[in-house]
Amino acid sequence: MKARPLEPEELRLFRNRSIIIGIVIAFIFSLLASRLWYLQVLNGEKYVEISRGNRIRLIPQAAPRGVVYDRNGIALADNRPAYQLQLIREDTSDIETTLRNLSTALGIPYAALLKKLEDHRFQAPFKPIILAEDLDYKKAAIIETYQEDFPGISIVIESRRFYPHNKIASHMLGYVGIRSEEQEKALPKNKWSSGRVVGQASIELIHNDTLIGTDGGKQIEVDSAGRELRILSKPVHPISGNDIYLTIDTRMQRFIHSTMKGKSGAVVVMKPKTGEILGMGSYPSFNPNLFASGISRKNWKRLINNPEHPLENKAIQGIYPPGSTFKLVTAYAGLAEKIIDENTTFFCNGYYHLKGRQTPYKCWSWKLGGHGNVDLRKAIQHSCNVFFYHVAVELGIDALHSYANQFGFGQRTEIALLNEKPGLMPSEEWKQKNLGERWYTGETPPVAIGQGFVTATPLQVINFINIIANDGKFTPPRIIMSESLPTFKSLGLTSDYLKLIREGMIAAVNDERGTARIIRSKTVTFAGKTGTAQVVGHKTTKNWDDEKKDQKEFQNHAWFVAFGPAEDPEISVVVLVEHGGGGSKAAGPIAKKILHYYMGNFDNPTHAEAHALPPKNEFAQQLHQAFH
């Protein structure tokens, strides 16, 4: 159908409407143009500055880690302020220039700064990148003073772990380090900032959840350089981690450290009645401060390649033949099985001949012609091997195994520290299962004197000595202070037999010919026992030249165990000196110094006083307030 042409009147109306619509559109665009002119021309510089300038940020605040104290409130693992260098990329228009200025001003290699940036290239531009940890005060002051020259760079004060006594108690305390991805996943969100650094070993790791604080935060306005201008809302204060008190005494710990200077081994000092550890040292030790800011590759290699294993806690992880200290187990087993009594004697001419074996077993006194007739007290006093050979062969390995287990050998003490080793107490079943052979009678005499297959940790040995000192009661070793009473467990041992053993240990210290007389005191009656554990057997060294025999790694381990006062024990001690030679010569003087130091410098507080948790020291209180 053909369209009808518009009438003149309709055409005029259409043109009028088009003009009106055009005027409206033109007016709108003129308004937009004038607004753009106002923003971009008249006030352009102002709004460019605003667009580049102030921003709102939510800043998390990490809480200080809980402090680890000794029993007297002396801080062993504390916190200190540390200066962290951060970059926020959206706050700088020229990152390369900023990094080069930083490198020049602070002496940090430009390549290292660039790598930090590259490692975080996928991170949101408003999130901070940590360029350097633990800057010294002078470098931090340079950044704060000349902030305009470092846009996007800021100094953040954080809490950093600090071990004020350096190597003292390092194996008990452990150390901290930057968390792994797995450790981060395990943290609740309100601990992410506070838990950036977490425990990596020992107490720091075991009680990590207790020690980590709860994050706080604040909303702030920052300028174009990233500097804080004002807080926009009420901040949420971080909550410090909980503190922990250990049973150790820093005085004793420091004294142990001084006595073991230059030696390799372990020392444990305990209160036998309560199981509290007053001091535990493993040597050589390490400085946990090396880890607090991230250990260098050089220092890490130096530690792990050290043949004396400074990172190993030898008190609970070092396993050694217990030597003659084990004779006390053999003694009790012989008494309990009625093989011997207090009047039984054996003749020692320096040798023990086992039927069917051509080579006799030696007593350490074989060059002196032996000990002659000895009963149990004298056998302990003189540490006569032959007496205990007789007893052990009559007992058999399985009976010896059973009594050794009662005293804690071959099993962990379950102290609240990581990676404790159980040692080994052999039996017929064990040898058949692990070596595929039956047990031979000729293998029993070495076990009787703490040699052969038997091994133990220093903590197991002092645990065993505490049972003797406590007349058959077992008190689990404790490293964490508690207000509750210690737990006792009766092992069903016979008091009369333990008394005979203690008499032998007292004679070993106080008799003129006793092997442990090095620790004898004019004022206190101590009980003690020496031990010398062979590293290499006599058969092996028989054809060696003197030079090889004198090498340190082939020398015997030296043991010394003691407690006192013998009638009412307050303290027990075990000393192990690796490759030290004879127990009395190498370990005895150390045990003597420790025992006499305790008796001369420590009071005997009541139970309530001993278990009262002391207040925080002044420095810790000030630091706590500073972070809040």
Catalytic machinery residues: 324
Q: Which pair of tokens denotes residue 350?
A: 């320096």
Name residue 173's amino acid. Answer: L
Q: Report which of 304, 299, 257, 300 is spatially closest to residue 281, judged by C-alpha positions.
A: 257
Task: For the beta carbon of residue 265, count every other beta carbon within 10 angstroms.
Answer: 27
Q: Which pair of tokens denotes residue 164?
A: 């004020």
**Rounded Cα distance, 612 and 474, in Å:** 23
* Residue 565 preceded by cis peptide, ω within 30: yes
Task: For the beta carbon of residue 398, count every other beta carbon within 10 angstroms.
Answer: 13
Task: For the beta carbon of residue 354, count every other beta carbon within 10 angstroms.
Answer: 15
**Rounded Cα distance, 102 and 445, in Å:** 71
What is the three-state SS of 35-91? HHHHHHHHCHHHHHHHHHCCEEEEEEECCCCCCEECCCCCEEEEEEEEEEEEECHHH
Q: Report which of 622, 554, 620 is spatially closest to residue 162, judged by C-alpha positions.
A: 620
**Rounded Cα distance, 401 and 428, in Å:** 9
Q: Report which of 511, 535, 596, 534 is spatially closest to residue 562, judged by C-alpha positions.
A: 596
**Rounded Cα distance, 420 and 625, in Å:** 38
Contact 287, 166 (CB under 8 A): yes
Distances 433 to 21, 111, 437, 455 between C-alpha atoms, Å? 102, 58, 8, 18
CA atoms 555, 405, 316, 260: torsion sign? negative
The strand pairing partners of 37, in sequence order, are none
Q: Report which of 565, 600, 563, 566 is spatially closest to residue 575, judged by C-alpha positions.
A: 563
| DSSP for residue 456 | B
Strand residue runs (E) in 170-327: 176-178, 197-199, 216-222, 228-231, 244-245, 265-271, 276-283
